[in-house]
Amino acid sequence: MGSISFPQKPDANFQTPWTTTPLIESSTLSRAAGCRIFLKLENLQPSGSFKSRAMGNQILSHLRKPENAGRAVHFYASSGGNAGLAAVCAARTLGYPCTVVVPVSTKPLMVTKLRRAGAADVIQYGETFAEAGSYMKEVVMMQTQKGSALGAQEVGVEEDEVVKIALHPFDNEPIWEGNSTIVDELVQQVPLPQGPEEVAVHAGRALPVDAIVCSVGGGGLLNGLVMGIERARRAGWEMGRKGSGGVADAEDGNVKPVHLLAVETKGTDSLAEALLRHELVSLPKITSQATSLGAVRVSERTFRYAVAPPPGVRVHSAVLSDAEAAKGVLRLADDERLLVELACGVCVEAAVGGSSSSASAALTGKKRKYVDEGYGDDRLSAGENDDDAVSPVRSPASSASAASLSSKLKQLVPDLNEDSRVVIIVCGGSNVTIDMAAEWRKLLSEGWA
């Protein structure tokens, strides 16, 4: 392990260690879903996932505390997944070291990514993240680290003067506040309603979106989205008082909800189990391949939001299989040229899966009918679609009427139509490779369900 450097002159105006991400409308997924599908591309964050917001804001919350001003700070994370990688990326962006402790079962791919991202050290210990976390707090953070001491000495700081801070992967207010910035961006990015009918549909909502689809592990993302919607709704009220129209109705109880579809895979479904039993529960173990969703227990705030969400929000729970999550990954890879984890693909399948679209055939290697996506391909003029059962140019409305729409989204939010706006949080993730996607395609072709 090399030496660790600390900022020579701590700056109170810290750089934000995450970026504003694009929102794009997917014509392919919209046709399959029978409504307007927008993708919030959190996979483009510096760490490859939305965790850049969560861990970045948590780190900033510590650096901004008066007691830490001007002091050397060393961060520690016990997540070897996206939270750990985001913690390293954010800490390094701000000029601080971050050590990560992970279980011995952590894949070499992730250990390598943590080191390449600039982790001060990556220590493997224990069989579970709980064991790794306990070891981090009780041993690693208690002992004098050679590299830490050396780095401290280089800037004139004694080892016992270094502030050592443990980071949580999902369960505290700064994490949720960081994730809530997604909604702040959506308020600016979602197209404004056009025409009196659309304006009437969305009047009273926090933002002109019918539904937002997100995955749930410990619940940090869901909590942030609810908090962001709440903030946007209150801002809307203020605008309503000033005569902007529509949104002021929310004060009188006429609050149109933004539906939140909280998606888990079978084997990580701690929220769904809690809702079923009407109390917080801990899963005995994680049995899904979507290990990024592998919190055996959701946060208390997540459970509370799901059971009794604030005005303007309605939460729905959905559980899909790993195979369905893999289909979602392949949909994004085939149709949008995006490669994401199972924990992210499950959201796509929850919104789109179950519809009879040409994309479904591609997932299992079956022949796929060519559909022009507007890139000027001349195959249409060559007659390659002459014997297709569907027109190569289709509107969302015609697609919806032709398809047997049975996605979780349609089941849980049945009043959606071709003009409805649905945002999928493309949470991203680093634990995925092209080889993994190829293996999932092979398994699906062999009947994986």
- How deeply is 143 buried, as exposed, middle or buried, from its count of CB atoms within 10 A (0-12, 13-18, 19+)? exposed
pLDDT tens digit at each of 449 positions of the chain: 444 554 544 455 788 999 999 999 999 999 999 999 999 999 999 999 999 999 999 999 999 999 998 899 999 998 868 999 999 999 999 999 999 998 888 888 889 999 999 999 999 998 877 788 899 999 999 986 544 443 444 444 555 689 999 998 888 999 999 999 999 999 999 999 988 988 888 988 999 999 999 999 999 999 999 999 999 998 885 554 444 444 444 444 567 899 999 999 999 999 999 999 999 999 998 899 998 888 889 999 999 999 999 999 999 999 999 999 999 999 999 999 999 999 999 999 999 987 434 344 445 455 444 333 333 333 333 333 333 333 333 333 334 433 444 688 989 998 899 999 999 999 999 889 999 999 999 999 999 98
Q: Tell me the pTM.
A: 0.84
Q: Are strands 36-41 and 23-26 parallel, antiparallel or unpaired?
A: antiparallel
247 with 204: CB under 8 angstroms?
Answer: yes
Protein fold of 23-48+172-239+254-355+406-446: Rossmann fold (3.40.50)
Give phi and psi for 215, each to the nearest 5: -90, 160
pLDDT at residue 109 in the model:
87
pLDDT at 237: 57
The pair of structure tokens assigned to 265 is 């895979």
Within the chain, how many helices (H) and strands (E) appear?
Answer: 17, 10
pLDDT at 170 (0 to 100): 83
Report the Cα 211 to chain-centroid distance in Å: 15
Q: Tell the residue number behind the tokens 């409305």, with chain if given.
A: 397
Bridge partners for 165 per DSSP: 75
DSSP result, 125-165: -SSSHHHHHHHIIIIITTSPPHHHHHHHHHTT--GGGSEEE
- Compute how many other C-beta atoms are within 10 angstroms of the C-beta atom of residue 105: 13
Give every CB contact of residue 23 below 8 A, 6+ residues apart in sequence.
38, 39, 40, 41, 185, 186, 189, 190, 423
Q: What are the DSSP calls for 221-276, one per residue? A: HHHHHHHHHHHHHHHHHHHHHTT--SGGGGGGT--PPEEEEEEEETTS-HHHHHHH
Question: What class has domain 51-142+162-167?
Answer: alpha beta
Element (H, E) at 82: helix 82-94
How confident is the model at residue 52, as a pLDDT?
Answer: 97
- What amino acid is encoded at 73 in this protein? V
CA distance linking residue 400 with residue 397, whole number of Å: 5
Strands 211-215 and 421-426: parallel
CA distance 46 to 32: 30
* CA 33 – CA 48 distance, rounded (Å): 26
Q: Which burial class, exposed, middle or buried, applies to 368 when counting CB atoms under 10 A from its CB (0-12, 13-18, 19+)?
A: middle
DSSP state of 191: P
Q: What is the pLDDT of residue 12?
A: 56
Count of Cβ atoms closer than 10 Å to residue 286 Cβ: 19
Instruction: Indicate where the chain has its CATH 3.40.50.1100 domain(s).
Output: 23-48+172-239+254-355+406-446, 51-142+162-167
Confidence (pLDDT) at 127:
81
